[in-house]
Amino acid sequence: MTAVEAPAVPGGAAAVTPRAPRGRAWLGAVAVVAVLAAVPLFLAPFATTTLTRILVFALFAVSLDLLVGVTGLPSLGHAAYFGAGAYAAGWVSIHVTAEAPVPLLVGAAVGAVAAALTGWITVRSAGVFFLMLTLAIGEVVQQLGNAWDSVTGGANGLTGIPSVRVAGAPLANAGFTYWYVLAVFLLGFALVWLVARSPFGAALRGIRDNEPRMRAIGYPTSLYKYAVFVLAGGVAGLAGSLLAAQARFVALPDMGFVTAAFALLAVVIGGAGSLWGACLGAALVIVVRDALGPSLGGHGTLLLGAVFVLVVYVLPRGAAGIRLRRRRSS
């Protein structure tokens, strides 16, 4: 789209052109990143650690949104790749090296490989069958993690993960760990954002909206779905490696159904198909579950369920739907 030439305005002020909203969006994104980067300078270590967990879970939710919102593949087993990446990064940090970016790359690679091994079966199904297959695969992977206790620690979890090292220095401080997680989160988010806005992403949205038509005009839809399934698994593994770096402990629930359901809840609350909406949903889930949950007598999940029901009835397109309404009204 070409910019509309600005008409003369009394006083010399330029009129707003169609490029202006995009410019404001970029300025807003830069402002958000600047605020996030400055957070450890003003917050207490506990609040900084909570925000670090939000970033980890937000990247995981963004990877799931690539499947659910962009491609139309609702998965209940996506936490399997998140947990696989966390275990792999933790094990490498203990037994090989904790020097960045080795644990990150290993976690992302293991998540992608796990998705490649299981995705060829799942992407050939659709709807409720895809949902059930991913749920079953997630449960199988969790049971494998429980049985392979010589590597994963079994029910006790993987403990003793050292701090990530950057140029030989360990990131023991909560603020340094936060900046490390923030940097990787921004890279992962940018990767998914670029994929979603590429011609490949446009084909994925076409598959989401009408797969038979896309197949009829020559697109190998199963191959497209398999490729995005592996990519989403790799990004989930990357988020899992951040979990190992932040918590320095990985447990079986991190790859189980509850974690996958929380991620799906974050995507629905934020608005499926909107990557920044998934981040907002992830923030809400972590704040309610980890920060407010203990003060509610352990009923944080009940509050999340109530929020989910409210969003479904009031905001069927999630938090991102509010912005769409404003665009249409303007």
Asked if 82 and 237 count as a contact pair (C-beta separation under 8 A), the reply is: yes
How many other C-beta atoms can be found within 10 angstroms of the C-beta atom of residue 297? 8
Helix H or strand E encompassing 165: strand 165-166
CA distances (Å), 262 to each of 118, 255, 259, in order? 21, 12, 5
Give 128-146 pLDDT, tens digit per residue: 889 899 999 999 999 999 9
Give 69-91 pLDDT, tens digit per residue: 999 999 999 999 999 999 999 99
Give 196-217 pLDDT, tens digit per residue: 999 999 999 999 999 999 999 9
Higher pLDDT, 329 or 168: 168
Give 241-269 pLDDT, tens digit per residue: 999 999 999 999 999 999 999 999 999 88
For 143, phi then psi, to 5°, come to -65, -35
Higher pLDDT, 295 or 52: 52
Beta bridge partners of residue 99, listed in sequence order? 165
CA distances (Å), 132 to each of 117, 141, 226, 311, in order? 17, 14, 17, 24
125 — pLDDT class (breaks 50, 70, 90): confident
Give 17-46 pLDDT, tens digit per residue: 445 566 777 888 899 999 999 988 888 888
Q: How many CA atoms does the CB half-sphere of 128 hold within 13 Å?
A: 0
Smallest CA-to-CA distance from 54 within 159, 178, 174 is with: 178
pLDDT score, position 314: 76
The single-letter code of the amino acid at 17 is T
